[in-house]
């Protein structure tokens, strides 16, 4: 802030963003812009990495070979998406190791939706349609982000995740037209994942102090509540068309606004899970630490091989 | 805490007559393992016919903003001239790739190569320029091609293999959902 040219540079920076230009590594940027991006991108990367765990547990129990290949490919994509995002964050001056250490030591945040358990195969279907569906809405918005590396990672991720949502929706459709037991499986999975999916869009706009600055600098182009409303308007009629329901007795179509409206999210639960007190927080971190330790010999072998060949 | 391996920038070629484009980076203990990581991270889907990896430390970079500000491009006069590969970001469109390979220039240093590139390839919009010594590039071997082609058979990764929109429309019209 002692920089006498700060105001001029800030004005130029904001003009560039207003013109639709991407800010690239090496370009001038306010320190707060860099910090906000590191916070968001590293959380996003960690979410992809932890996001492998709830569904990964079901790979060995897939009902047929096709479903197994689909789920393997989806979980493999999430590992790749974590890498795209760690790369994007690194261009801002944080290292991959710092981010991974913060995750393993329990200091980093990730999407709290992954702190809920997957109790049945239909949860894989509901996660695809609801959780990946919500993620794609958020990521489609972030693809317009003013920071080049984050935008590019989002464009690639959105292109790849289309099938993540569709494979889940396809399963829910089939269950909804199947036996009563299958229909019930689908309904119970939707009941479990509905509220966690709505919480994925983040706190209520009035509790989201970063949003005005993020929007001013083109990091976000829409608010949490706008995206959450778009999700409701797409998903509620879709779920109802299948003869299924959302677990919200107050959900109704508001003629005046043309939007679906339900009851308020349980914000106490939202903050509790974010702060680490969700049903699966400890288990997820333990699984990540074990995976990191179990991979140690691979890293050591690779390093030894490179040294021997070098 | 692990010792972080060096970073390698990854360039992917989608078809044999297309440019190598920067898609992101990986960390690896050497170029061979960087290529292996790059394949896992960036070639799960078609199309990929070849990959390059370049150590991050070998690359010099300038954005248009930095070039316009006249950020010192130190031209060392001591070294012999060498061949440098140059890359540029060519559009502000929303895209999943960054800088494209443009060609080679002769220069006395990697920093000088950046300025030479901007002066040589005047018809290329240089929103960002990158340069590296040509010998810093490690290309995937021809023997990797069957591995890249394998991705083309994994159709279940393609959103167009799922007819959810069509099926939902049929259900809404009161028809059976199954195709």
Number of domains within chain B = 1
A160 to chain B: which residues are within 8 Å by CB? Answer: 44-45, 157
Q: Which domain holds residue B132?
A: 7-172
The answer to whether the CB of B154 falls within 8 A of the CB of A72 is: no
User: Does residue B52 form part of some domain?
Assistant: yes
Tell me if chain A has a CB within 8 Å of the CB of B128. yes
Residue A287 burial by CB count (10 A; 0-12/13-18/19+): exposed, middle or buried? middle
The answer to whether the CB of B30 falls within 8 A of the CB of B60 is: no
User: Does residue B129 form part of some domain?
Assistant: yes
Residue B121: CB atoms within 10 A of its CB come to 16
Do the Cβ atoms of B178 and A299 come within 8 Å?
no
CA distance A289 to A57: 16
Q: What is the ipTM of this complex?
A: 0.94
Name which CATH class applies to A30-309. Answer: mainly alpha
Q: Among A218-232, B8-22, B106-120, where is mean pLDDT lowest?
A: B106-120
Q: Among A197-201, B64-68, B137-141, where is mean pLDDT lowest?
A: B64-68
Contacts of A236 (CB under 8 A, 6+ apart): A246, A251, A260
Distance in Å, alpha carbon of A168 to nearest chain B alpha carbon: 10
Out of A97, A149, A306, name the one closest to residue B4 (CB): A97
Q: What is the DSSP letter of B155?
A: G
What is the structure's pLDDT at A169?
A: 98
pLDDT of residue B2 exceeding 80, the answer is: no
User: Does residue B91 form part of some domain?
Assistant: yes
CA distance A158 to A138: 10
The answer to whether the CB of B2 falls within 8 A of the CB of A97 is: yes
CA distance A200 to A188: 19
Out of A160, A169, A310, name the one closest to residue B164 (CB): A169
- A window 51-70, beta carbon within 8 A of B: 66, 69-70
Sorted by where each begins, the domain ranges of chain A are: 30-309
pLDDT of residue B163 exceeding 70, the answer is: yes
Question: What's the angle, vertex CA A308, arms to CA A307 and CA B3, rounded to 5?
Answer: 20
Contacts of A134 (CB under 8 A, 6+ apart): A197, A198, A200, A201, A231
User: Does residue B24 form part of some domain?
Assistant: yes
Distance in Å, alpha carbon of B110 to nearest chain A alpha carbon: 17
* Helix A31-50 and helix A281-294, axial crossing angle in degrees, nearest 10: 80
A166 to chain B: which residues are within 8 Å by CB? Answer: 159, 162, 164
The answer to whether the CB of A227 falls within 8 A of the CB of A138 is: yes
Tell me if chain A has a CB within 8 Å of the CB of B40. yes
Out of A66, A97, A152, name the one closest to residue B156 (CB): A66
Q: What is the DSSP letter of B143?
A: G
What is the structure's pLDDT at B67?
A: 84
pLDDT of residue B1 exceeding 50, the answer is: no
User: Does residue B2 form part of some domain?
Assistant: no
pLDDT of residue B84 exceeding 70, the answer is: yes
Question: What's the angle, vertex CA A161, arms to CA A156 and CA A165, rounded to 5?
Answer: 160
Out of A160, A174, A299, name the one closest to residue B45 (CB): A160
Do the Cβ atoms of B164 and A27 come within 8 Å?
no
Residue with tokens 């195969």: A121
SS3 category, B167: helix
Which of residues B176 and B41 earns the better pLDDT score?
B41
Contacts of A188 (CB under 8 A, 6+ apart): A120, A122
Sign of the C-alpha dihedral computed for residues B42, B48, B53 and B56 taken in this order:
negative
What is the structure's pLDDT at A137?
A: 97
Contacts of B155 (CB under 8 A, 6+ apart): B161
Question: What's the angle, vertex CA A75, arms to CA A126 and CA A303, rounded to 5?
Answer: 160
In which residue ranges of chain A is pLDDT below 70?
1-2
B76 confidence band (pLDDT: 50, 70, 90): low
The answer to whether the CB of A278 falls within 8 A of the CB of A116 is: yes
Distances (CA, A) of A177 to A172, A240, A243, B168: 9, 13, 9, 12
Query: Is the link from the previous residue into B50 a cis peptide, with omega within 30 of 0?
Result: no
Tell me if chain A has a CB within 8 Å of the CB of B91. no
B66 to chain A: which residues are within 8 Å by CB? Answer: 26-27
Tell me if chain A has a CB within 8 Å of the CB of B72. no
B159 to chain A: which residues are within 8 Å by CB? Answer: 162-163, 166
CA distance B114 to B128: 10
- Three-state SS sequence of chain A: CCCCCHHHHHHHHHHHHHCCCCECCCCCCCHHHHHHHHHHHHHHHHHHHHCHHHHHCCHHHCCCHHHHHHHHHHHHHHHHHHHHHHHHHHCCCCCHHHHHHHHHCCCCCCCHHHHCCCCCHHHHHHHHHHHHHHHHHHHHHHCCCCEHHHHHHHHHHHHHHHHHHHHHHHHHHHHHCCCHHHHHHHHHHHHHHHHHHHHCCCCCHHHCCCHHHHHHCCCCCCCHHHHHHHHHHHHHHHHHHCCCCCCCCCCEEECCCCEEECCCCCHHHHHHHHCCCCCCHHHHHHHHHHHHHHCHHHHHHHHHHHHHHC
B64 confidence band (pLDDT: 50, 70, 90): confident
Reading the block at residue A69, the tokens are 């290949």
What is the structure's pLDDT at A35?
A: 96
Average pLDDT over residues B93-116: 94
CA distance A129 to A135: 10
Q: Return the number of CB contacts < 8 Å for A and B.
A: 123
The answer to whether the CB of B151 falls within 8 A of the CB of B111 is: no
For A61-101, the pLDDT digits (tens) are 999 999 999 999 999 999 999 999 999 999 999 999 999 99
Question: Which residues does residue B89 pair with via DSSP β-bridges, in sequence order?
Answer: B128
Tell me if chain B has a CB within 8 Å of the CB of A294. no
């Amino acid at each position: 802030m002692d920089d006498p040219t700060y105001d001029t540079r800030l004005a130029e920076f904001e003009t560039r963003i207003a013109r639709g230009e991407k800010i690239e590594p090496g370009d001038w940027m306010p320190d707060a812009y860099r910090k906000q991006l590191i916070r968001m991108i590293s959380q996003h990367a960690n979410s992809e990495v932890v996001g492998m765990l709830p569904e990964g547990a079901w790979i060995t129990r897939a009902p047929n070979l096709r479903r197994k290949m689909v789920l393997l490919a989806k979980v493999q994509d999430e590992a790749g998406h974590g890498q795209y995002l760690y790369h994007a964050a690194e261009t801002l001056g944080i290292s991959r190791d710092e981010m991974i250490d913060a995750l393993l030591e329990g200091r980093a945040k990730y999407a709290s939706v992954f702190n809920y358990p997957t109790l049945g195969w239909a949860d894989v279907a509901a996660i695809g349609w609801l959780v990946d569906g919500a993620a794609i809405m958020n990521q489609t918005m972030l693809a317009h982000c003013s920071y080049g590396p984050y935008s590019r990672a989002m464009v690639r991720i959105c292109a790849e995740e289309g099938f993540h949502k569709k494979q889940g929706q396809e399963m829910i459709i089939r269950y909804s037209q199947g036996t009563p037991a299958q229909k019930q499986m689908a309904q119970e999975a939707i009941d479990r994942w509905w509220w966690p999916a709505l919480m994925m869009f983040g706190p209520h706009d009035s509790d989201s102090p970063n949003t005005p600055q993020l929007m001013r600098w083109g990091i976000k182009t829409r608010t949490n509540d706008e995206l959450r409303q778009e999700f409701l308007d797409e998903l509620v009629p879709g779920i109802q068309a299948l003869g299924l329901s959302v677990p919200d007795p107050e959900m109704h179509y508001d003629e005046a606004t043309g939007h679906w409206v339900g009851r308020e999210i349980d914000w106490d639960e939202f903050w509790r899970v974010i702060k680490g007190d969700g049903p699966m927080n400890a288990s997820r971190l333990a699984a990540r630490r074990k995976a990191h330790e179990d991979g140690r010999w691979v890293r050591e072998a690779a390093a030894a091989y490179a040294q021997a060949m070098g | 805490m692990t010792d972080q391996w060096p970073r390698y920038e990854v360039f992917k070629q989608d078809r044999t007559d297309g440019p190598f484009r920067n898609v992101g980076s990986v960390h690896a203990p050497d170029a061979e393992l960087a290529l292996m990581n790059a394949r896992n991270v960036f070639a799960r889907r078609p199309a990929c016919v070849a990959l390059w990896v370049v150590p991050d430390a070998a690359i010099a970079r300038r954005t248009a903003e930095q070039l316009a500000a006249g950020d010192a491009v130190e031209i060392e006069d001591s070294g012999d001239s060498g061949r440098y590969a140059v890359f540029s970001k060519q559009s502000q469109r929303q895209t999943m790739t960054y800088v494209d390979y443009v060609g080679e220039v002769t220069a006395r240093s990697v920093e000088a190569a950046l300025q030479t590139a901007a002066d040589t390839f005047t018809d290329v919009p240089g929103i960002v320029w990158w340069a590296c010594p040509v010998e810093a590039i490690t290309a995937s071997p021809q023997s990797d091609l069957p591995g890249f082609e394998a991705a083309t058979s994994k159709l279940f990764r393609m959103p167009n293999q799922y007819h959810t929109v069509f099926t939902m429309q049929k259900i809404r019209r009161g028809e059976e959902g199954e195709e």
